[in-house]
Amino acid sequence: MARHGGRGWYGRVIAAAVGVTAVAAVTSVWSAQAGQSGGGPAAPGVSARPAAPKATPVSPSIVHASDGGAHAVNITIDDGPDPVWTPRVLELLRDNGVKATFCMVGPQAEAHPDLVRQVVAAGHRLCDHTVSHDTGMDHASESYQARQILDAERQITKASGGVRPMYYRAPGGAFTPYSRKLAASHGMRPLGWNVDSKDFERPGSEAIIATVKRELANGPTILFHDAGGDRSQTVAALRTLLPWLKEQGYSFGFPVR
């Protein structure tokens, strides 16, 4: 798997959620997806929720397969949420009846909890993409890796209203045996990809479309981005690719847990 972006290119993100308006909680959807409720103080006169159970450990092996079967694809969206591009991606997914997995950077989730909750309410899944998107973290200490993964997990879970990420994707594929086992022990299946759309490089929407079509035989999990810069080419490519995939007989699933 190719690496994306520079070392720590999200390290300067200021994790502040100023002026954002949280959408109404869709608790039944969140609970069904995550398998637990969030904590937090109860409002006056309302019984406190029970403490969230510990996440059930999952396999530490890197998953690529789709739970939709042999002729299904997994749409995965990295580096957000972003206030400009994530809503546009969500609109396209909704219009095409497609569910996706959003691999979120912790401070981005913390800064835009309304978008995290929109993602969950629409039936998509969450994935931990670390705190600072450090593509060299496989060369860092285990304590550093743990902070990157677990701090982002907490940020995403809090922003979502209590829904934990179901997957962990290392920035640029910088997995280590330690990081895979740590994520899996927290219920986050390590998530790879088979098709790199190269949209991060902004080669033009036609080039992105051609890359996906050419590499689709490699496997079901396709990598796109909704943050980290101007993602208009990604939006344009998805506008063409989602209907095209349906025309080819593909269904859409989630990565196997």
Catalytic residue among 64, 78, 151, 186: 78
Q: C-alpha angle with apex 177: 77 to 141, nearest 5 degrees?
A: 95
Distance CA 89, CA 107 (A): 20
Is-catalytic flag, 71?
A: no
Residue type, 147: R
Kindly report the CA angle at 215 between 242 and 234, in degrees rounded to 5?
A: 45
Look up 78 and say whether it is catalytic. yes
Residues whose CB falls within 8 Å of the CB of residue 123, separated by 6 or more in sequence, listed in order: 29, 33, 99
Question: Which of the residues 4, 133, 186, 225 is marked catalytic?
Answer: 225
For residues 149 and 179, the answer to whether their CB atoms sit within 8 Å is yes
- Report the distance separating Cα 201 and Cα 203, nearest Å: 6
**How far apart, in whole angstroms, are the C-alpha atoms of residue 8 and residue 132?**
5
User: Which residues neighbour 248 within 8 Å (Cβ) at sequence distance 6 or greater?
Assistant: none
Q: How many secondary structure helices (H) and strands (E) does the chain include?
A: 8, 8
Closest among 190, 206, 187 to 198, alpha carbons compared: 206
Q: What are the tokens at 33? A: 């997806």
Q: How far apart, in whole angstroms, are the C-alpha atoms of residue 128 and residue 137?
A: 14
- Residues designated as active site: 78, 225
